[in-house]
């Protein structure tokens, strides 16, 4: 009798566990909470010094600007479109005054519209992989060059 009761309780508990897994849908959420964001920013900063390469998607081959943002976010389970012009539509637009660490920042460099992207790290600083300078680095949004070319920002959703 005791064995039957134990087996019944175990079966009921297993059933409840399985029911909790069924039918749960993932909702779109804002980018990771602060603790996860710190890890994302640490990942981005860990690539400082990696060389620029047109079309590059990995630290081993080098990065271009959007390849860098794709790679960083993918390490944290967030897939971004490949090109900067597509990445600007991958999230919710935010004003310069609303920028938070982890937001994508966009610049008009070679053509009309956003042609360069970086990751905002806070205090008017962003990390990116520019073709000029040839390596992943941090720059200030307030530098004359970047301030004149700034075109907007977005907050990515998971």
What six digits make up the tokens of 153? 């920002």
User: How far is Cα 116 from Cα 132, in angstroms, rounded to an integer?
Assistant: 12
> What is the rounded CA–CA span in Å between residue 38 and residue 90?
21
Looking at the DSSP assignment, which residues form a beta bridge with residue 127?
119, 138
| Cα–Cα dist 71/146, whole Å | 23
How far apart, in whole angstroms, are the C-alpha atoms of residue 136 and residue 145?
17
Q: How far is CA 21 from the centre of its chain?
A: 27
What is the number of other CB atoms lying within 10 angstroms of the CB of residue 144? Answer: 8
Q: Would you please indicate which residues are annotated as catalytic (active-site) residues?
A: 65, 116, 128
């Amino acid at each position: 009798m005791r064995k039957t009761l134990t087996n019944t309780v175990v079966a009921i508990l297993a059933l409840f566990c399985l029911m909790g897994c069924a039918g749960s849908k993932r909702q779109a959420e804002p980018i990771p909470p602060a603790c996860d964001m710190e890890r994302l920013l640490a990942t981005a900063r860990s690539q400082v010094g990696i060389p620029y390469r047109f079309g590059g998607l990995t630290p081993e081959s080098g990065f271009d600007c959007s390849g860098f943002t794709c790679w960083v976010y993918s390490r944290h389970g967030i897939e971004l479109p490949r090109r900067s012009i597509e990445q600007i539509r991958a999230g919710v637009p935010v004003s310069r005054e609303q920028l938070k660490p982890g937001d994508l920042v966009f610049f008009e460099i070679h053509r009309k519209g956003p042609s360069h992207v970086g990751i905002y790290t806070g205090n008017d600083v962003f990390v990116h992989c520019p073709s000029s300078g040839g390596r992943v680095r941090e720059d200030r949004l307030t530098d004359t060059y970047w301030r004149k070319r700034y075109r907007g920002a977005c907050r990515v959703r998971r």
